[in-house]
C-alpha cells in the first residue's frame, strides 16, 4: 500500500501505532515483534506473491552472516554477495542482459517490490560482519532491520550498525508524545511535498516527455519547461518520501539516517552526490568504490573507479540504457570535477555561483536520460534545449500577452507560429509561476531535517551538518520547529491538504527501483 493512501494513513498506520503502544507496556520485545509482524503484513498486503522471496532472503543472509562472523571466510562472504546479486539480476536484469548480448529475449518478470533496496541492505550487513564492524546478534532485530516498513520499499539504505543499538535499547519503541509530534510533522511535510508539489510538477513534465517520444520536435521553451519541471518533480518526490520515511520511523522511536540534504544547493557535482540519495552514495563509496581500490592507486585509477561506480549506480536504478547513460554522464562529470580539483591551482577556482550554475545544468541534462522512455526522446529534448533547428518558436497568441517582451523575443530569433502549440500544452503564465515557486523553495528555504534540527530527526548526518542555508538567514527570521499549538496547526494543514489531493495519488518515483 502507498504511504499516500487512505488505507495506509487511516488504517494501517494508526492500527500499528496503537498496537505497539499497547504491547510496549509489557516490554521491548513484544513491541519489537509487533513491528516485525506489521512490517511483513505491510509487504504482504502489497506484494503477496513475493513475501516468501523476502522471507527467504532474510533467512539466507542471516545464516550466512552468522557463518561469516564465525569463520571470517572471505569465500563465504563472496558466496553470500553473489547469491544476492544473482537474485537481483534474475528478477530485474535478465531481459536487459539477454538483449544486450544478443541472446533470445527472456520472459520479463515482475520486479519484486523493494528488492533493490533490501538486497543492498543485506550486502552491507554481510560486509560489515566480515569487517568486524558488527556482530549478527538477534534474529528478531535483523528481521526488523530488513523489513521495517518505513524504509523497506525505497530506503534509505540503512546499515545494521545504525539501528541495532536503537533496537536493543531498553527504551526502544516507546510511543512518546515528542516522537509522535516530530514524526507526524515530518510525515505531513513529506506528504505535502509529494501530493501538492511533486505531482503538480509531474503534470507539467509528463506531456513534454510524451511529445518528445514522438516525431514532433519540441521548441526551446517547451524543452526547458519539461526538464525544469521534472527536475523539481523528482526533487520533491524523493524529498517527500525521505521525510515520510524518517517521520514514520520516528513515531516508533527509531531514527533512520539522513538521505536528502538540499542537493540543488550544491556548488559542484561532487557536492551534489554528497546531498542526493546520501545512503546510496555512501553504499557505493564504502562497498564498491573502496573494493575497486578507491583512490589508493593514483589519480587515473581513481577516475576509472569513479566512472565504473557511477555506471553501476545508473544500472541499479533501472534495466535500461538510459539509466546506464545517466550514470555514465554523472561519472564523467565527477571525473572532471575531481580532475579540476586535483590541478590545485587557486587561479582556476571559480565563484560558488558559477559552480552551482554549471552543476545544475549538468544535473538537468542528465535528468533527461533518467526520465525519458527512449534515446529518441532524449535527443529531441536536448535539441530543443539548445534551440537546434527550427525550435525558436512561440504561439502567435502569446505575442500580445508578452507585451514589450515580444520585441525582445523577436530580437533573440524567436518567430511566431499559428500552429496548435497551446492545445498540446505549451506552458502558460501559471506554469512559469509554479516553476518559479518550486525553485524558490529548493533554494530559499531550509530542508525538513534542518527545520527540525533541535529534535534530532535522524540517527546520523553522514556528511556533516545539515544544510540550513536559506533566505530566512538573510532576513533575520527563524523557522525552528517546536511542539507548539501553532506548529500543530501548520502540520494539520499540510496533512489535510495532502489528504485532499489523494484523488491524484501516484507512486513515488523511487518505488520503481
Q: How many residues does the chain have?
A: 513
- In the three-class reduction of DSSP (H, G, I as helix; E, B as strand; rest coil), residue 416 is classed as strand
Number of C-beta neighbours around residue 290 at 10 A: 15
The pLDDT score that the predictor gives to residue 502 is 75
Question: Annotated catalytic residue: which of 317, 330, 338, 376?
Answer: 317
Domain chopping of the chain, boundaries: 6-172, 181-512
Lowest mean pLDDT of 232-241, 309-318, 504-513, name the range. Answer: 504-513
Q: Is 70 exceeded by the pLDDT of residue 477? A: no
Q: Is 50 exceeded by the pLDDT of residue 112? A: yes
The pLDDT score that the predictor gives to residue 463 is 36
The pLDDT score that the predictor gives to residue 420 is 62
Alpha-carbon Rg of the chain, whole angstroms?
24
CB 73 within 8 A of CB 105: no
Burial 395-426 (b: 16+ CB within 10 A, else e): beebeeeeeeebeebeeeebeeeeeebeeebb
Q: How many CA atoms lie within 13 A of 231 on its CB side?
A: 24
Give residue-wise pLDDT tens across range 235-273.
999 999 999 999 999 999 999 999 989 999 999 999 999
Structure-model confidence comparison of residues 30 and 219, the more confident one:
30
SS3 of 258-313: the string is: CCCCCHHHCCCHHHHHCCCCHHHHHHHHHHHHCCCCCCCCCHHHHHHHHHHHHHHH
Task: Identify the bridge partners of residue 417 per DSSP, sorted by sequence position.
Answer: 395
Give residue-wise pLDDT tens across range 155-208.
899 999 999 999 999 899 999 999 999 999 999 999 999 999 999 999 999 999
Q: Is 60 exceeded by the pLDDT of residue 465? A: no
The pLDDT score that the predictor gives to residue 460 is 66
* Residue 48 φ/ψ, nearest 5 degrees: -60, -30
∠ at Cα 176 (175, 179), nearest 5°?
Answer: 90
Grid cell 569463520 is found at 71
Q: Is 297 a catalytic residue?
A: no
Lowest mean pLDDT of 115-119, 289-293, 332-336, 495-499, name the range. Answer: 495-499
DSSP at 86? H
CA–CA dist 33, 30 (Å, integer): 5
The pLDDT score that the predictor gives to residue 423 is 58
CA–CA dist 456, 449 (Å, integer): 8
Nearest partner of 422 among 231, 210, 219, 230, judged by Cα: 219
Listed in sequence order, the residues at least 6 apart from 64 whose beta carbon sits closer than 8 Å to its beta carbon are: 76, 79, 80, 83, 126
Amino acid at each position: 500500500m502507498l504511504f499516500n493512501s487512505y488505507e495506509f494513513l487511516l488504517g494501517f498506520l494508526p492500527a500499528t501505532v496503537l498496537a505497539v503502544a499497547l504491547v510496549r507496556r509489557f516490554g521491548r520485545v513484544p513491541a519489537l515483534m509487533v513491528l516485525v509482524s506489521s512490517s511483513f503484513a505491510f509487504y504482504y498486503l502489497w506484494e503477496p506473491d513475493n513475501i516468501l522471496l523476502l522471507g527467504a532472503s532474510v533467512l539466507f543472509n542471516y545464516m550466512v552472516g552468522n557463518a561469516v562472523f564465525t569463520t571470517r571466510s572471505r569465500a563465504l562472504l563472496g558466496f553470500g554477495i553473489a547469491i544476492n546479486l544473482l537474485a537481483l539480476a534474475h528478477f530485474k536484469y535478465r531481459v536487459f542482459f539477454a538483449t544486450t548480448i544478443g541472446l533470445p529475449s527472456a520472459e520479463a518478470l515482475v520486479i519484486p517490490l523493494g528488492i533493490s533496496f533490501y538486497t543492498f541492505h543485506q550486502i552491507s550487513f554481510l560486509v560489515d560482519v566480515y569487517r568486524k564492524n558488527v556482530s549478527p546478534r538477534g534474529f528478531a532485530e535483523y528481521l526488523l532491520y530488513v523489513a521495517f516498513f518505513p524504509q523497506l520499499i525505497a530506503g534509505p539504505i540503512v546499515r545494521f550498525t545504525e539501528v541495532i543499538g536503537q533496537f536493543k535499547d531498553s527504551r526502544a519503541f516507546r510511543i512518546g508524545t515528542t516522537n509522535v509530534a516530530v514524526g507526524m510533522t515530518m510525515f505531513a511535510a513529506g506528504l505535502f511535498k509529494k501530493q501538492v508539489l511533486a505531482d503538480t510538477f509531474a503534470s507539467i513534465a509528463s506531456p513534454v516527455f510524451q511529445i518528445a517520444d514522438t516525431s514532433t520536435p519540441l521548441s526551446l521553451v517547451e524543452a526547458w519547461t519539461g526538464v525544469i519541471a521534472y527536475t523539481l518533480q523528482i526533487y520533491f518526490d524523493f524529498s517527500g518520501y525521505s521525510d515520510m520515511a524518517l517521520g514514520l520511523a520516528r513515531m516508533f522511536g527509531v531514527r533512520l539516517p539522513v538521505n536528502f540534504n538540499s542537493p540543488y544547493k550544491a556548488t559542484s557535482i561532487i557536492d551534489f552526490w554528497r546531498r542526493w540519495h546520501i545512503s546510496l552514495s555512501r553504499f557505493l563509496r564504502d562497498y564498491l568504490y573502496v573494493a575497486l581500490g578507491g583512490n589508493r592507486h593514483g589519480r587515473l585509477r581513481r577516475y576509472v573507479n569513479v566512472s565504473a561506480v557511477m555506471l553501476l549506480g545508473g544500472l541499479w536504478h533501472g534495466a535500461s540504457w538510459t539509466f546506464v547513460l545517466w550514470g555514465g554522464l554523472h561519472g564523467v562529470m565527477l571525473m572532471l570535477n575531481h580532475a579540476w580539483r586535483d590541478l590545485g591551482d587557486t587561479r582556476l577556482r571559480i565563484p560558488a555561483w558559477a559552480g552551482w550554475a554549471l552543476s545544475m545544468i549538468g544535473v538537468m541534462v542528465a535528468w533527461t536520460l533518467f526520465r525519458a522512455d527512449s534515446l529518441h526522446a532524449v535527443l529531441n529534448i536536448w535539441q530543443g534545449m539548445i534551440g537546434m533547428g527550427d525550435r525558436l518558436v512561440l504561439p502567435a497568441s502569446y505575442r500580445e500577452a508578452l507585451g514589450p517582451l515580444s520585441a525582445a523575443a523577436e530580437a533573440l530569433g524567436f518567430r511566431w507560429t499559428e500552429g496548435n502549440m497551446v492545445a498540446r500544452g505549451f506552458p502558460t503564465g501559471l506554469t512559469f509561476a509554479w516553476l518559479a515557486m518550486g525553485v524558490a523553495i529548493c533554494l530559499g528555504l531550509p530542508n525538513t531535517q534542518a527545520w527540525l534540527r533541535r529534535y534530532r530527526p535522524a540517527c546520523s548526518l553522514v556528511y556533516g551538518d545539515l544544510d540550513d542555508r536559506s533566505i530566512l538567514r538573510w532576513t533575520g527570521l527563524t523557522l525552528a520547529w517546536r511542539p507548539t499549538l501553532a506548529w500543530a496547526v501548520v502540520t494539520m494543514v499540510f496533512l489535510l491538504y495532502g489528504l485532499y489531493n489523494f484523488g491524484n495519488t501516484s507512486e513515488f518515483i523511487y518505488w520503481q527501483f
